[in-house]
Amino acid sequence: MRDFVSVEGLEVLAVIGIFEWEQEITQPLIIDLKMAWDNRPAAKSGAIEDALDYDAVRKAATSWISAKPWGLIEEVAEMLAARIMEEFSVTELEVRVAKPTAVAAAKTVAVTIFRKREE
């Protein structure tokens, strides 16, 4: 299967960073998700129950990230991958977490991970 559902450019305010001062403020993270999903059943039925509800994924990801302070964007990426696979039955996905405020001379820094459910 090569179908995907994507959420691109999701901005979430988070307490994130390894420096003490970063744990006292919120900073934006930009999240991109590319999730493997068989879109044929939803295309045939027209029912949200057969689709990967991307708004539910957005709400969940925002809630998970906002729930606690983080140190590294790598932690956020791994958490998102594991939780989305578990709670939304996604078998494989690509997660990109960008932190635009990390390096003043750069537009953004980011990590991208690909995870696949082990059979």
Please determine, for residue 119, whether its predicted confidence score (pLDDT) is greater than 70. no
CATH value at residue 110:
3.30.1130.10
What pTM, to 2 d.p., does this model score? 0.94
- Assigned token pair, 55: 């708004």
Q: What is the pLDDT of residue 91?
A: 95
Stretch 4-22: mean pLDDT: 97
What whole-number distance in Å separates Cα of residue 98 and Cα of residue 109? 5
Q: Supply the range of the domain harboring residue 64.
A: 4-116
Stretch 93-117: mean pLDDT: 96
Catalytically active residues, by annotation? 99
Q: How many domains does the chain have?
A: 1
Q: What separation in angstroms does the CA of 89 have from each of 6, 84, 85, 107?
A: 15, 7, 5, 34
Percent of the chain predicted with pLDDT > 70: 98
